[in-house]
Amino acid sequence: MHDATVTAAYDLTPRVKQLLLRVDGHTFSHEPGQHVSVRVETEDGTPVYRPYSPVNRPGTDTLILAVKRYDDGLCSPWLHKRTVGDTVTITPPSGNLRLHDPARDALFLATGTGLTPMLALFTQYLDEGTGRATLLFGERTPADLMYRAHLDGLATGHAQATVEYILSDPPSSWTGPSGYVQEHLDKALSPLHRPHVYACGVPEMVVDTEDVVRRRGIPTDHIFTEGWEEGAVAD
C-alpha cells in the first residue's frame, strides 16, 4: 500500500475530476493499462477498494487519475472532495490489460472513464508502435469528452493516428458520428490490417465489441478488454 499526497485536483468535465497523486521516494513502474485501487472506509470502518487506471506513463513518483463522480457512490464522491495536501491510500498497480504487439495495427475503444487505460495504451502505442492506431471514444455530449484537446494533439502529431468522438446524445450542432461506439466498429476496422483490439467501458459496449470483432474474423487472442462491474463503476 502507498499513502499518496494529492498535489493537484481540478475538473476535466462537469462530472470528472483529475487528481495527481504523488508518493515521495517511490517510482511507479507499472504497465500502461494497469490500475491501482483506492482505499476508502464505510461508515462502520470497513475498508473498500475501487480501481482506477492511471492516465500517465510510468517512471515518475506521480499517478494521474480521472474520477467520475457517482452521487450515490462511496469512493467517487469522497475522491471529488480531496484537495491539495490530502492523503489517498492506494494499492500498487496491477492488472492484465497491457499493450501486446506495437508492430501490429491497433484499435482502441472506450466509453466514459474507460478512456483512462485506453489513453495510456494509445499514448504508448504512438511512442513505440509502427502501424496504424485508431481510438474511438464514446460519450453522451461534447461537454463530457475529457482530454479532448490532448487527444486532438496526439492525432495531429502522429500521421498514423486517428481519433474519433462518438456521441450518444449529441446536440443539433454536432457534425461528428453519433450513436454508440460499437456501431462504428466496421468502419474503423476496415483500413486496419489484422489489428489488435483493445476496449474498456460499460459492459454492453465491451460484449458487443467482442462479438463484432469475432464476426470480422479477428482471432480471440487479438482482443483485449476490460468491462466494468456495475457495482464498482457506480461508486
**d(C-alpha 100, C-alpha 198), whole Å:** 10
8 Å CB contact between 135 and 200? no
Looking at the fold, whether 152 and 202 belong to one and the same domain comes out as yes
The whole model's pTM is what? 0.89
Tell me the mean pLDDT in the region 129-138. 94
Tell me the mean pLDDT in the region 178-200. 91
The answer to the question of residue 101 being in a domain is no
Q: For 137-148, give the DSSP string.
A: EEESSGGG-TTH
Looking at the fold, whether 19 and 115 belong to one and the same domain comes out as no
What pLDDT is attached to residue 229?
Answer: 43
Q: Do β-strands 47-52 and 62-68 pair in parallel, antiparallel, or remain unpaired?
A: unpaired
What pLDDT is attached to residue 231?
Answer: 42
> How many CB atoms within 10 Å of residue 189?
19
Query: With bands split at pLDDT 50, 70 and 90, how would you rate the model's confidence at 228?
Result: low
Looking at the fold, whether 34 and 80 belong to one and the same domain comes out as yes
For residue range 33-90, list pLDDT tens digits in order.
Answer: 999 999 998 888 899 899 999 999 899 999 999 999 998 888 999 999 999 999 999 9
For the cut 80, the answer to whether the pLDDT of residue 234 exceeds it is no
The answer to the question of residue 79 being in a domain is yes
The answer to the question of residue 44 being in a domain is yes
For the cut 70, the answer to whether the pLDDT of residue 222 exceeds it is yes
Q: 229: domain CATH number? A: 3.40.50.80
> How many CB atoms within 10 Å of residue 82?
17
The answer to the question of residue 178 being in a domain is yes
Q: Do β-strands 16-22 and 62-68 pair in parallel, antiparallel, or remain unpaired?
A: antiparallel
The answer to the question of residue 140 being in a domain is yes
* Helices (H) then strands (E): counts for the chain: 6, 11
The answer to the question of residue 95 being in a domain is no
**Alpha-carbon distances of 178 from 15, 112, 140, rounded to whole Å:** 21, 15, 9
Number of domains in the chain: 2
Q: Do β-strands 36-41 and 47-52 pair in parallel, antiparallel, or remain unpaired?
A: antiparallel
81: domain range? 2-90
Please identify, among 90, 116, 148, the residue that sits at the C-terminal boundary of a domain. 90
Q: Which of 22-26, 43-47, 194-198 has the lowest mean pLDDT?
A: 43-47
Tell me the mean pLDDT in the region 117-132. 94
What pLDDT is attached to residue 235?
Answer: 55
Looking at the fold, whether 77 and 117 belong to one and the same domain comes out as no
Looking at the fold, whether 120 and 226 belong to one and the same domain comes out as yes
Tell me the mean pLDDT in the region 163-168. 96
What pLDDT is attached to residue 72?
Answer: 84
Quote the cell numbers at residue 62: 506521480
| Closest of 1, 217, 219, 182 to residue 100, by C-alpha | 219
Looking at the fold, whether 220 and 118 belong to one and the same domain comes out as yes
The answer to the question of residue 100 being in a domain is no
Give 178's contacts (C-beta < 8 A, 6+ positions apart): 166, 167, 168, 170
Looking at the fold, whether 117 and 86 belong to one and the same domain comes out as no
| Closest of 158, 107, 103, 115 to residue 135, by C-alpha | 107
User: Residue 92 carries which DSSP code?
Assistant: P
Q: 76: domain CATH number? A: 2.40.30.10
Average pLDDT, the chain: 91
**d(C-alpha 197, C-alpha 191), whole Å:** 13
Looking at the fold, whether 69 and 27 belong to one and the same domain comes out as yes
**d(C-alpha 190, C-alpha 28), whole Å:** 37
- Rg for the chain, CA atoms, rounded: 18
What pLDDT is attached to residue 232?
Answer: 44
Looking at the fold, whether 25 and 118 belong to one and the same domain comes out as no
Looking at the fold, whether 78 and 124 belong to one and the same domain comes out as no
For the cut 90, the answer to whether the pLDDT of residue 96 exceeds it is no
The answer to the question of residue 167 being in a domain is yes
